[in-house]
Chain A
Amino acid sequence: MQNRPSGFGNPWLQLALSIACVLVSEFLLKRGATEVAETDSAWSWTGLNGLASPLVWWAILLIIASFISWLYVLRYIPLTIAFPLSRVVDILVPLGCWIFLGELISPLRWCGIALVVTGLALVAKPIAQIEERL
């Protein structure tokens, strides 16, 4: 993790950008895929019919952007740290549904969110210590 660039080239900033793009793309994909769903056709298992939705294309653009950021992240951060951190998106989706769409979060789901946050803290703590020393 030494000699890494600062500013926009900071790998942690790129990781955050990559996560933000994935988060928005998840919502776009779900909405886009549902819009054009033809579940009775065998071809639809490939997902290719999803391309008929413009939302899916927007999602693809965001996925490409997140992918470029992700490749950059991989250059500097070990996969054992970067990948678990990137899954913060899995709690941001339900939290986003709760905050913006007014969906309810059950107690079990809150427990899951708490576990993910604890896991993220465990993975991120050594990094915070390394950063302080630099």
Chain B
Amino acid sequence: MSFLAFFFIVVSLLTFVVAQLILKRAMEATKTAGFRNAQFLWKVTGGVILMTISFFLTLGLLQRFDLSYLYPFQGLSVLFITLMAAVVLKEKLNARLAIGALLISVGIVLVSMS
């Protein structure tokens, strides 16, 4: 794998993780203030832009690599999002959820290796 491919894989993963966190914040804002508030609109727009960037980068990667090859990186997103949701969004993260996320990640890596 070239440096360029690694770079695009990392960028597509990071944009995806950050997008999920922003979208979660956006939807939380709707609980108190409904859908017609600036907070929601800005965050949902930001989240959609980041998801779109991640989507097209993935499409570019799919043209070069098998879906099964790109799987481990999708697997990592489970760990990243679970940890970031606990740190950034202050969601409860107990040992059961953390181990569950870890097993899912490792499982996805194994699925892609074979």
Binding site for B on A (CB under 8 A): 26, 29-30, 33-34, 37-39, 44-50, 56, 63, 67, 70-71, 74-75, 78-81, 83-84, 87, 90-91, 93-94, 105-109, 111-123, 125-126
Provide the B24-62 mask, 1 if CB < 8 A to any CB of A, else 0: 101110110000000000001000000100011111111
Q: Are B27 and A75 neighbours in the complex by a CB distance under 8 Å?
A: yes
**Which listed residue, A47, A79, A111, A122, touches B62 by the CB 8 Å rule?**
A47
Whether, in the assembled complex, B15 has its beta carbon less than 8 Å from a beta carbon of chain A, the answer is no
Q: Are A30 and B67 neighbours in the complex by a CB distance under 8 Å?
A: yes
Give the nearest-CB partner of B79 in chain A: A84
Q: How far is the CA of A48 from the CA of B44 in the complex (A)?
A: 23
Q: How far is the CA of A108 from the CA of B108 in the complex (A)?
A: 11
Q: Are A45 and B111 neighbours in the complex by a CB distance under 8 Å?
A: no
CB distance from A86 to the nearest CB of B (A): 9
Whether, in the assembled complex, B85 has its beta carbon less than 8 Å from a beta carbon of chain A, the answer is yes
**Which listed residue, A39, A70, A75, A79, touches B63 by the CB 8 Å rule?**
A39
Give the nearest-CB partner of B109 in chain A: A112
Contact-residue size bin, chain B (C-beta under 8 Å from the other chain):
35 or more
CB distance from A91 to the nearest CB of B (A): 6
Residues of A within 8 A of B113 (CB): 108-109, 112
**Which listed residue, B31, B60, B92, B114, touches A80 by the CB 8 Å rule?**
B92
If A29-B62, A78-B85, A80-B92 touch, whether A116 touches B111 (CB-CB below 8 Å) is: yes
Q: What are 27 A-to-B residue pairs whose CB atoms are below 8 Å?
A: A30-B67, A33-B62, A34-B62, A39-B64, A46-B57, A47-B57, A47-B60, A47-B63, A48-B56, A48-B59, A74-B24, A75-B28, A79-B21, A79-B82, A79-B85, A80-B101, A84-B78, A87-B108, A90-B108, A108-B113, A108-B114, A109-B111, A112-B106, A113-B107, A119-B105, A120-B100, A125-B96
